[in-house]
Amino acid sequence: MSYNTFYLCLIFALGYIFFGVESYIPVGRIGHSSTLIGNKIYYFGGITDVGASLNDVFYLDLSQPFNVANPPWIKITDIPFGSSWGSVALDNSNNTEVYLFGGITDDVNTQKDSFKSFVYKFNINSLSWNIPTVSGIAPSRRIEMKAISDNSGKIYIFGGAANFLVGAQTRTFFSDMITFDIADSSWSINTAVNGRATYSATLLSNGIIVYVGGLEPFNGNNDVVLIADISKILLFDTNSLTWSMNVCIDIN
- Write the CA distances from 91 to 20, 94, 186, 219, integer angstroms: 28, 6, 14, 36
User: What structural domains and CATH numbers belong to the chain?
Assistant: 1-96 (no CATH), 133-252 (2.120.10.80)
Is the pLDDT reported for residue 115 higher than 80?
yes
Is the pLDDT reported for residue 1 higher than 60?
no
**Mean pLDDT of the 79-84 span:** 98
In this prediction, what percent of the chain has a pLDDT beyond 90? 85
**Mean pLDDT of the 112-130 span:** 98
Contact 108, 54 (CB under 8 A): yes
| Of 147-161, 215-229, 230-244, the least confident | 215-229
Contact 90, 35 (CB under 8 A): yes
pLDDT of residue 41: 98
Could you report the per-residue pLDDT of 179-199, keeping only the tens digit for each?
999 999 999 999 888 899 999
Could you report the per-residue pLDDT of 2-50, keeping only the tens digit for each?
544 444 444 444 444 444 446 899 999 999 999 999 999 999 999 999 9
3-state secondary structure 68-118: CCCCCCEEEEECCCEEECCEEEECCCCCCEEEEECCEEECCCCCCECCCCC
Tell me the residue type at 205. S
pLDDT of residue 193: 86
pLDDT of residue 61: 97
pLDDT of residue 159: 97
